[in-house]
A and B are shown apart, each in its own frame.
Chain A
Amino acid sequence: MAQGATLSLEQGWELAKLWYKDRLRGDWQRPNLEEAQILLASLGLSGRFWDLAGGS
């Protein structure tokens, strides 16, 4: 399989919930870079691959 990162189905579901649960709220705004990085880190997604600012 190609290089990259792999999540279990359960991790993917947790990520999907965090990312999309508020999408239909009227006041939803896309998280900024810092907020998005915190969100990823809350699921243990850290390191160069998950660095939104360009660590890889």
Chain B
Amino acid sequence: MLQNEELELDQTVRLHVYGHFLTEEEPPTLRQIASALEVSSDLIAQALERLARARSLVLRPGTTEILMAMPLSADPTPFEVSAGGHTWWANCAWDALGVPAMLNCDARISAPCADCGEPLAVRVVNGEVQGQGELIHFTVPAAHWWDDITYT
């Protein structure tokens, strides 16, 4: 496959992953992507691996299962985001805000306080974030975010 064709397929797969994730609240499987796009599973697997190498998606180690389509997480996390009748898990506090930023919509974010464990409720309304003075704490320096992205 030519490089431009690979790039085009990667973009198509990436957008399909996000579309499915947003409507179904979980990422599509390899087979679902291949079926929806009418492309062989082998080519979809290669596209997913390229997207993972480019850090556009995160796959479960050693598989083609999608773990993260940032800011969305396939696995439950403490960061729950609700918008437009859907609810998703985000990878971290930054990513929780990333959901309404990506969708350009209002949203409600539920997360426990990292300091005391008390539940926090943050809203994004008309492009503004509303909270009660919450802080977002980053523990991993930027240079090491991708050393272990799941931990980060």
Contact = CB atoms under 8 A, between A and B. Distances in A.
B14 to A, nearest CB: 8
A24 B15 contact: yes
B141 A49 contact: yes
* Secondary structure class of chain B's binding surface, majority of residues: mixed
Nearest to B104: A21
Given A6-B137, A7-B136, A30 B56 contact: yes
B101 A24 contact: no
A50 B98 contact: no
Interface residues of A, number: 36
B124 interface: yes
Interface string A44-56: 0000111111111
Contact of A52 (B99, B103, B143): B143
B143 A56 contact: yes
B129 A10 contact: yes
Contacts of B135: 6-9
A48 B11 CA distance: 34
A50 B136 contact: no
Interface of B: 11, 14-15, 18, 54-56, 70-71, 93-95, 97-104, 114-115, 122, 124, 129, 131, 133-144
